[in-house]
Amino acid sequence: MTSLAIPPLCTMCARRTGPMTCDAFPDGIPWSIFSSDVVHTSPVEGDRGLTAIVDADRLEAWLETRRRILGART
């Protein structure tokens, strides 16, 4: 499990509707996604067919930060 040392990708997503909700998960973003354990750029169970919408440059910077913090665990 990761920690919130990595800012949640959700905070940059155009689908975000609240602190822990979005169009994909209106009843609450699963902790595995919010905590960055799961990168929601590919479909996951329960996302209603909606994945994260993030500017490409911001997404690449976020992924690089995640790789740097998690190292070989990614």
Overall domain count for the chain: 1
Q: Could you tell me if residue 2 is inside a domain? A: no
Q: Could you tell me if residue 28 is inside a domain? A: yes
Q: Could you tell me if residue 46 is inside a domain? A: yes
Spatial CA neighbour of 4 closest among 41, 40, 33: 33
Name beta bridge partners: 18: 21
pLDDT, tens digit (0-9, with 9 covering 90-100), for 10-58: 999 999 999 999 999 999 999 999 998 999 999 999 999 999 999 999 9
Q: Could you tell me if residue 4 is inside a domain? A: no
Residue 41 CA to residue 64 CA, distance in Å, equals 15
Q: Could you tell me if residue 36 is inside a domain? A: yes
Percent of residues in the chain assigned helix, strand, coil, to nearest 5: 35, 5, 60
Q: Which pLDDT belongs to residue 1?
A: 53
Q: Which pLDDT belongs to residue 4?
A: 61
Residue 73 CA to residue 57 CA, distance in Å, equals 23
Q: Could you tell me if residue 1 is inside a domain? A: no
Average of per-residue pLDDT across 50-70: 94
Show the domain range for 40.
9-73
Identity of the amino acid at 25: F
- The structure's pTM equals 0.83
